[in-house]
Amino acid sequence: MESIDITVVIVNYKVKEYIANLLNSIYKAKGALSVQIIVVDNNSNDESVEFLKKRYPKVTYIENKENLGFGVANNQAINIADGEFTLIINPDTLVSEDTLEVMLSHMRKHPKCGASGCKILNPDGTFAPESKRSVPTLGTAISKVLGLNSIFPKSKVFGSYYLGWIHENEFAHIPVLSGSFMFWRTDVLQHLNGFDERFFMYGEDIDLCYRIQNTEYHIDYVPNTSIIHYKGESTRKGDLKYVRIFNKALYQFFEKHQSKNYSQIFRSLIFTAIWARIFISFIVNNLKSLKALTTDLLLLNFSVIIGFLVRFNLSVEVFTNLQSLKYLWINVLASVFYVTIGGIFDLFRNKQTSISNALKTVFGSYLGIAVITFFVRNLAFSRLALIYGLISAILLFLVQRLMQINLKNTGSKVTGRLKNSKILLVGSESAAEPIKQQIYARPDWNYEIVGVINPDNKAGNYLGSISQLKDLIRGYNVDQVFFLLNSISYKSMLQQISTLQGERAILKLIPDSMDFILGKSNVEYLEQIPLVDIALPYSKGVNRWLKRSVEIIVTSPIIFLLSPLLIFVFSKRSKSSVQIRSVDLITPILKNRKSNIILLIWNVFIGNIHIVGSTLSTNYKSTYLFSPGVIGYAQLNDMRIQNKTDLENYEQYYLQNYSVWLDFDIMMKSIFSEYSVLKNLDEELNS
């Protein structure tokens, strides 16, 4: 039987795509080494094993019927490990091509090294300080809780938790490894009986490393190779459950190894302090949500005050009433309604970026106040003040949400983002072409590909070379960078990521399988979305009525103001015009631009065309012959549409996902778009 060099142990809990990416990197890194891979699934219930077996049938799989915890699952694999060395590695990691060879070579050269770890990088390229750690003591715990380790990272007193005085590129003997990457001698690991199974999750890596101190072996930090760690993709760091498990693990370690050094009273104080830290950590981790809720309530209450002031013409009596808090109960009632209705719409858990849900909540809050003041006469309040307040609230929330969404470097599907996310692809031209087609075939994504970066300085139609990546990100104001892992080495990618520290661009990976995009906290599949022809929301009567109502509201005041010009424009049209999909425009189109704009507005007003609709074109050909529009979903994505099938996909996506909010989103984006219906029509007629 062939001897096995390395056994790789991976525990999975609902992160199958990350494991697939990790396995790709392991197979690339193993070279001539003999590697045994064991994946333990902790009852993911998401068809993880089936997903992985199709791609990696030679891997050994252990399927648990319940979530047994990290330590138990690892021990199941450790007990059957046949390799000379065993690598315990997190599923949300990625190794370099030289990682396995570098670690194995180090262990064989240093026979008294029982375990070793390498340099760990965060997804943004920064160094992960947990690559090297000390055993937690009362002193290190206090320094970490008080933040002294961050203020004095290189101090041997305050920075001891992460051994801050040891440079990230400096080899060293260290007390504790990160559980995300632990390269062990299998016989030592099995002699220690693996992980202490009393630790469900977290702390078991510290405990295991601590126990090696009672042997003749030591632990080494080897920075000659590096990995990426996405950090806890299967956990929610703000959840109370996570905070409780993490801090409970710290207390378990303290109780097991250090409690004998302290009295019962002191141990009780430690226990109380840890639970206090659980509470504080939970509050701190959720401050972002509380901050967002506070901002919303301030905007809502400000709108109530604006409505009141406008209603009474900013008179002195209004300020007197406000100072006496006579109508303060309106603000309290509005706040209560907002929190209640917002909870129903799940507004606060979704990080407060939903425009439609926010506006629905605002409308519901004011409606609630109006109903109560109508039926409870003692609480009567000016209806006109409420109307002014509602209008103010809609405007305030709309502006705030748009600013919030557009200031963020957001992902692929974002309503309210006025410009597409700019993307750089790093990989070969041949690998990039199908990715381009797959991305552009997704009408629900707002990605714009700026260009392709050459990974190995070969000739081709590239925007630049990989050595220019940082400059290109800045020069083109790039939002995201996709590394195509089938045409760039993992080592080269890791080197580039380490140089991009501090850049605003989000870094993502497209694995060898080329069927999904892997980010820090999300997975986006490249397959086309399913399109069906039944139950189109666009065809529903209420939606068509809302669409028409909005168009009349928008165009009526414009037609009223421009009515003196209509006779002049109609007379010009009768002399020289061209009919395009039932719309008569004056030719030459661009030379009569202002008159044609008035004609377009008139046609929207009379219902001949829509503000948002299908393409208004002389050669329009699509299966979905719905009414044309001045702008539209397909028109905004004109540069992404490669053929008739793409056009139909974009139009059917619009029809299937139609809502008045989608029309508003398209109208807002059109303001920042280069698309011009008159320019396109003029080019078509002159071509």
Residue 12's CATH number: 3.90.550.10
Asked whether residue 235 is assigned to any structural domain, the reply reads no
Of residues 307 and 257, which shows the higher confidence score? 307
Task: State whether 445 and 492 are in the same domain.
Answer: yes
Task: Point out the domain boundary residue: 525, 549, 580.
Answer: 525
Of residues 266 and 612, which shows the higher confidence score? 612
Cβ 416 vs Cβ 389: under 8 Å: no
Please return the burial class of 646, using the count of CB atoms within 10 Å of its CB with bins 0-12, 13-18 and 19+.
Answer: middle
What's the domain range around 13?
4-133+174-229
Asked whether residue 334 is assigned to any structural domain, the reply reads yes
pLDDT at 326 over 60: no
pLDDT at 395 over 60: yes
Task: State whether 448 and 478 are in the same domain.
Answer: yes
d(CA 161, CA 140): 6
Task: State whether 350 and 393 are in the same domain.
Answer: yes
d(CA 221, CA 117): 5
For range 156-180, the mean pLDDT: 87
Report the share of the chain in percent with pLDDT over 70. 82
For range 133-140, the mean pLDDT: 73
- Which residues are paired to 509 by β-bridges? 483, 518
Task: State whether 434 and 369 are in the same domain.
Answer: no
Asked whether residue 148 is assigned to any structural domain, the reply reads no
List phi, psi (to 5°) of 119: -75, 130
Task: Point out the domain boundary residue: 373, 407, 441.
Answer: 407
Asked whether residue 592 is assigned to any structural domain, the reply reads yes
For the stretch 624-659, pLDDT in tens is: 778 899 999 999 888 888 888 888 888 888 998 898
Domain total of the chain = 5
pLDDT on residue 418:
80
For range 434-438, the mean pLDDT: 90
Task: Of 480, 504, 476, 507, give the one whose Cα is nearest residue 493.
Answer: 507
Strand 181-185 to 113-121 pairing: antiparallel
pLDDT on residue 355:
83
Task: Point out the domain boundary residue: 285, 320, 355.
Answer: 285
Task: State whether 488 and 346 are in the same domain.
Answer: no
pLDDT on residue 281:
63
Task: State whether 73 and 207 are in the same domain.
Answer: yes
List phi, psi (to 5°) of 16: -60, -40
Task: Of 365, 529, 347, give the one whose Cα is nearest residue 440.
Answer: 529
Task: State whether 450 and 481 are in the same domain.
Answer: yes
First to last CA, the chain: 73
- Count of Cβ atoms closer than 10 Å to residue 343 Cβ: 12
Task: State whether 52 and 198 are in the same domain.
Answer: yes
For the stretch 498-511, pLDDT in tens is: 888 878 888 999 98
Report the share of the chain in percent with pLDDT over 90. 44
Asked whether residue 413 is assigned to any structural domain, the reply reads no
SS3 letters across 619-664: CCCCCCCCCEEEECHHHHCHHHCCCHHHHHHHHHHHHHCCCHHHHH
pLDDT at 76 over 90: yes
Asked whether residue 416 is assigned to any structural domain, the reply reads no
- What's the chain's length in residues? 687
Place of tokens 């002191």: 266
pLDDT on residue 214:
85
Asked whether residue 145 is assigned to any structural domain, the reply reads no
Is the overall model pTM greater than 0.85, yes or no?
no
Task: State whether 98 and 215 are in the same domain.
Answer: yes
Of residues 125 and 592, which shows the higher confidence score? 592
pLDDT on residue 238:
46
pLDDT on residue 11:
95
For the stretch 439-480, pLDDT in tens is: 888 888 888 899 999 887 666 789 988 889 999 999 999 999
pLDDT on residue 410:
61
d(CA 300, CA 406): 21
Local confidence band at 81 (pLDDT 50, 70, 90 cut-offs): very high
| Residues in CB range of 95: below 8 A, 6 or more apart | 22, 25, 26, 29, 89, 227, 490
Cβ 7 vs Cβ 36: under 8 Å: yes
Residue 483's CATH number: 3.40.50.720
For range 268-286, the mean pLDDT: 62
Of residues 77 and 489, which shows the higher confidence score? 77
Task: State whether 14 and 98 are in the same domain.
Answer: yes
Cβ 154 vs Cβ 78: under 8 Å: no
pLDDT at 350 over 80: no
Mean predicted lDDT score pLDDT of the chain: 84
Asked whether residue 519 is assigned to any structural domain, the reply reads yes
Task: State whether 426 and 402 are in the same domain.
Answer: no
Task: State whether 302 and 385 are in the same domain.
Answer: yes
| Residues in CB range of 484: below 8 A, 6 or more apart | 425, 426, 427, 428, 431, 432, 435, 510, 514
Local confidence band at 256 (pLDDT 50, 70, 90 cut-offs): low
pLDDT on residue 241:
55
pLDDT on residue 455:
86
